[in-house]
Chain A
């Protein structure tokens, strides 16, 4: 545990621009993070690094702990151990609102809109930290990117369909142009075409603009197509990590996606790929 934290120190110095030229800065680094709902961890010792402009896909079976990890990154659940670095800054003990203020955005898997607010007010809440004068203009820009929301703007969020709610949630998180985005199954409930579009255009474009994205997805194929890096979470442990094409080719990948451990434990390096490994690549 302690040695991992020491590793983290190294990562930070390289990530903060002082390191290798041409390497984009670290947007988010998790170092040995464990998290859970009481005192018992559900995800264990997760280490992931996401650089600016990078899309990292996190996949795993139902109940493997993906959402739990996301909640601890945004700060709704405390990290039971480990360190969370946002753009190189230790935010492990910070409140969610402080993390959002530092550029973190989060789309939850469920309860993703404010039911008692209308769509416009939902978007305004996404811009809670923005200067008042800029909000209206930003809403117009966002509506240009999500034209389907235009006719719904005064509709109560409670009255929206599941897909429309998801769109509102995604639009809301984009209000402030976050530099690091946590998307927990952003395409769940969307039509395949729209899902494809969200992933390949919205998310990919965001990444091109320099945003780091941690993407939890059930649509593994689509997610891996846009992702730069992929991890597989099994029972709260990172089992596999690497380039999406390699991960998906790994023997036993299907078994892992069903939440079954491999008969033979995964080989050492990829069992828990630390950020150090990745920055070396």
Chain B
């Protein structure tokens, strides 16, 4: 195995591990609790930014950079800070968005929130250095003195360990009483609404928990790639993860893992392997998004429950009072 190939493979594995954590977190919110969190990527971005600025140190005078918090903290702290910051922001957002409103209304507000966050991060240059973002973020394990591929393997090990822990946690929540409550909301929102404040609390809880994991995944990402800017986290990035859940089977943690492997990893990499002249690169990367959108529509049409359906899905009994809506599809 050539070392270039080794390097390529390991970097794909690192991305897969990071996406898996993120996918599992989103699965908790979307797949199990039924929250269309179109703002998911914002929480990843917060984690990434905070981890970045607490690793990189204060802005170098004369470089025309400005960002908050500039500090140089030792390894695990920036990651934890990223996760904590994302959780901190998701609390008010969750409290505001998950109240009373019907699901698609929430989805719209969260999407709008994601769009706005990009604008703010770009325009508020004092926050995270605006459109240029932060870059040159030191990598955490360089002191180990590994080869490039060796470093990747080590990094993959760490990211995979995190993903595994997230998986265990997600499984645990998924089959806990909380998971049952959340599923019942997802499958029968109007009846669950009658349950009242407990339901609201349960949803805010997974929203914040998911936000923390999102932040952590962003932190792991930024420490690996070393730079972060508004271009790294367009609202569409959330969509890839949502599509992954739809394809893999939302509500099922194994489905979430499968989905993140199939969509963000496999499809992207396969397309990346197509030899292209530079002129075509933009077109192909645009078409990649079109392809993901098309795959999502296709799967929603044919297999809305995904490759690995959630076995605990509660059959919909109460249907929306609309003549055109005939009810939940057969599994």
Contacts and interface: CB of A to CB of B under 8 A. Distances in A.
Contact of B327 (A38, A76, A111): A38
A142 interface: no
B323 A76 contact: yes
B319 interface: yes
Interface in B275-331: 319, 321, 323, 326-327
A111 B322 CA distance: 12
Contacts of A125: none
Interface in A50-84: 76-77
A180 to B, nearest CB: 20
A37 interface: yes
Interface residues of B, number: 5
Nearest to B316: A38
Given A38-B319, A38-B327, 4 more contacts: A37-B327, A38-B326, A76-B323, A77-B323
The secondary-structure label for the interface of chain A is loop
Tier of interface size on chain A: under 10
Contacts of B327: 37-38
A71 to B, nearest CB: 8
Interface string A102-125: 000000000100000000000000
A37 B326 CA distance: 7
A37 B319 contact: yes
Nearest to B318: A37
A76 B113 CA distance: 39
A38 B326 CA distance: 6
Of B319, B321, B323, the most chain A CB neighbours within 10 A belong to B323
Contacts of A38: 319, 326-327
A106 B319 CA distance: 22
A27 B66 CA distance: 81
Contacts of B321: 111
Contacts of A37: 319, 326-327
B190 to A, nearest CB: 15
Contacts of B323: 76-77
Interface string A37-55: 1100000000000000000
A111 B321 CA distance: 11
